[in-house]
Amino acid sequence: MVGLLGFVSVWEAAARFELANPVLISSPTSVVLALKNWALSGMLLRDLGTSLWELTVAFGASAIIGIPLGVAMGWNRTTEYALDPFVWLIYSAPLVSFWPLFIIWLGIGVKAIIALAFLFSIVQVIINTMAGVKGIDPVLVRCARSFNASPFDLFFKFILPGALLMIIAGLRLSIGRALIGVVIGELFSSNAGLGFHISYYGARLRFADVFAGLFMIVLVGIFTTQVIRIVEIRLTRWKV
Amino acid sequence: MKRWKRSVIGGLAVIAFLILWEIAMPLRLVKVADISRPSLVVMAFFELAESGEIFPHLVISLKEFIFGFILALIVGIPFGVVLGRYRLPALLLDPLLMALYTMPRMAMMPLLVVWFGIGLGATIAVVFLGAVFPILVNTSVGIKEIDKIWIKAVHSFCGNEWDIFKKVLLPGVVPQMMTGIRLGVGRGLLGMVVSEMYASTAGIGGQIALYGNSFRTTELIALIAVISLLGFFTVDLMRRVEERVRRGRAEV
């Protein structure tokens, strides 16, 4: 905490006494002022809403599609081997390079941003789910089978709970990645959202507003991660 | 045997995907969107390579990446070691670092462009920012995870701080550090492309933005493939190195 305060005061002092160009580095007080103006103008709510909406859709879709895919890959060798090259390619490629392609396919706007964020986040979900399912003790599965568990039971009573810790860890990482996707997409082209705010005021050299935008993004990142952490604690209480 | 099966099935899947892609356009399996065809993409790639158009951009991109990444190593590793070893700096800097670590640092793009200038400066800065935090955080976590007994052992043999660093911390942190470096490579590459696309400067990202803006899907996909495969092989290489290092550890 002291470190944070120290940083803020050094920043303020640097701007006040013009150790660095105040236009370029702004200052904490003007950032707070910019935040206030942003909130009062009502734009903050709009930008925040847009970004959160994009984030939710992209993250939700990647969870809904990614978890079954991950389970399939963890469960079945052939599926894993078949999908492995694609997953690793998407995992390690700089995904922004797909951005122009999304614009051609989906048009500039929310859809392309969601697609980018989706691509960013889904791989993490798949990889973690797969690792979680693979990590389940085979003895447990054999035990379930010998008690005549249906595939349905097997899935909901053994695989899902068994892999839960890993899956949620994956979701936590993936929401961060989805946020990166949303911000980059908005930065490149959009007319609303936190990334748009940053890019708009950045181009006008109003850095107090840019810092205000960055601040909000950090808040969103911390908030979403915390939410998932709370869910994680709730869901894994039985595990001790 | 296992290895063999993995590559065969993987290869078959990739081939199946390419065939599906090849016939998707002529058979009108997809509507509206231009998804090009792999054969055209490969031809476009050879055209780009033959005319030599692509190489100067690739060189620029790699130069920016390497500069930024080396800078990230120079800053990230020592800072990580210090933060892992000593409590006071860790307590002071932790909230700040965590805020920066969780923040999508690509969002700082507009600031960096003004601070460091469009092109080389901003790209190096973004690569640095992207890569330095995974390296730093993983290094410091790795240092923290080293068993304190080793440090006590050095103390009881009258070793000084330098001995601790050289004989305990450095060898102990290598596997975790490699994880950080691997993550850093991915983030750095991402930063490189974002920066080049954002400011539409030279380099492979700039070319991608250029072809994207002129709706030349085939060349665009060729470039995306180049950069994706570049990322794939670099990260794969790092993964191999990491595994090697870890295995070496387990044997000791």
Largest CA distance in chain A: 76
Q: Which residues of B touch A77 (CB under 8 A)?
A: 5
Q: Locate the domains of chain B by residue range.
A: 1-32, 36-247
Mean pLDDT within A153-180: 86
Q: How confident is the model at residue A239 (pLDDT cuts 50, 70, 90)?
A: low
Q: Using an 8 Å Cβ cutoff, are A24 and A199 in contact?
A: no
Q: How far apart are the first and last CA of chain B?
A: 28
Which of B107, B114, B232 is nearest residue A92 as measured by Cβ atoms? B232
Q: For residue B252, what pLDDT is reported?
A: 47
Q: Are B51 and A121 in contact (CB under 8 A)?
A: no
Chain B contact for A129, CB < 8 A?
A: no
Q: How high is the pLDDT of residue B33?
A: 65
Listed in sequence order, the DSSP H helices in chain B are 2-24, 38-50, 54-85, 87-102, 109-116, 120-145, 148-156, 161-163, 170-199, 204-213, 217-251
Q: Determine, for residues B110 and A210 on separate chains, whether the beta-carbon distance falls below 8 Å.
A: yes
Q: Which residues touch A153 (CB under 8 Å, ≥6 apart)?
A: A144
> Which SS3 state, helix, strand or coil, does residue B159 take?
coil
Selected for mutation to probe chain B from A9, A89, A96, A102 (highest B CB count within 10 Å) is: A96
| Per-residue confidence band for A135, with pLDDT thresholds at 50, 70 and 90 | confident
Region of A26 please: left (phi>0), alpha (psi -120 to 50) or beta.
Answer: left
A45 touches chain B (CB under 8 A): no
Kindly state whether A219 is in contact with chain B, defined as any CB-CB distance less than 8 angstroms: no
Provide the residue type at B54 as one letter: I
A110: nearest Cα among A48, A165, A58, A40 = A58
Chain-chain contact of B220 with A100 (C-beta, under 8 angstroms) = yes
- Type of residue numbered A115: A
Cα separation of B21 and B160, whole Å? 63
Is the pLDDT score of A240 beyond 80? no
Alpha carbons A213 and A47: distance in angstroms, whole number: 10
d(CA A145, CA A75): 14
* Dihedral (CA of A195, A196, A199, A204) sign: negative
Residues of B in contact with A86 (CB under 8 A): 13-14, 17
How far is it, in rounded angstroms, from Cα B49 to Cα A235?
A: 53
- The mean pLDDT of A150-170, rounded to a whole number, is 83
Q: At what angle do helices B109-116 and B120-145 cross, to 10 degrees?
A: 120
**For the domain B36-247, what is the CATH superfamily, name and number?**
MetI-like (1.10.3720.10)
Nearest to B104 by CA among A199, A44, A70: A199
pLDDT of residue B246: 76
- Residue located via tokens 């080293």: B146
Rounded to whole angstroms, the Cα distance separating B188 from B207 reads 18
Q: What is the distance between the alpha carbons of residues A66 and A72, in angstroms, rounded to a whole number?
A: 10
Question: How many angstroms separate the Cα of A115 from the Cα of each of A233, B62, B167?
Answer: 30, 27, 48
Q: CA-CA distance, B81 to B1, in Å (whole number)?
A: 42
Residue-wise pLDDT for A176-223, tens only, equals 899 999 999 998 887 888 889 998 888 888 888 999 999 899 889 888
Kindly give the interhelix angle for A99-106 and A160-188, rounded to the nearest 10 degrees: 80
The rounded distance, in Å, linking the Cα atoms of A53 and A47 is: 10
Please give the mean pLDDT across all residues of chain A: 87
| Tens of each residue's pLDDT in chain B, 252 residues | 567 888 888 889 999 999 888 888 777 777 666 778 888 888 888 888 888 888 888 898 999 999 999 999 999 999 888 888 888 888 788 777 877 877 788 888 888 888 888 878 888 999 999 999 999 989 988 888 888 888 888 888 887 878 887 778 878 888 888 889 988 998 899 989 988 888 767 888 888 888 888 888 888 899 999 899 888 888 888 888 888 877 766 554
CB within 8 Å of chain B, chain A residues 68-127: 77-78, 81-86, 88-89, 91-101, 103-105
Domains of chain A: 27-235 (1.10.3720.10)
Q: What is the pLDDT of residue B128?
A: 93
Q: Are A3 and B93 inside 8 Å of each other by CB?
A: yes
The pLDDT of A143-166, averaged and rounded, is 81
Nearest residue on chain A to B3, alpha-carbon basis: A81
What interface predicted TM-score (ipTM) does this complex get? 0.84
Q: Show residues of chain A in contact with B96, CB under 8 Å.
A: 3-4, 7
- Which residues have a Cβ under 8 Å from the Cβ of B172 and sit 6 or more positions away? B142, B143, B146, B150
Summarize pLDDT for A14-35 with one digit per residue, the tens.
877 777 777 777 888 888 888 8
- Evaluated on CA atoms A33, A37, A40, A44, the torsion sign reads negative
pLDDT at residue B250, as a whole number: 56
- Choose the closest CB to B189 out of A7, A94, A218: A94
CA dihedral for A205, B133, B208, A119, sign (positive or negative): negative
Is pLDDT of A84 > 80? yes
pTM over 0.95: no
Residue partners of B70: CB distance under 8 A and separation at least 6: none
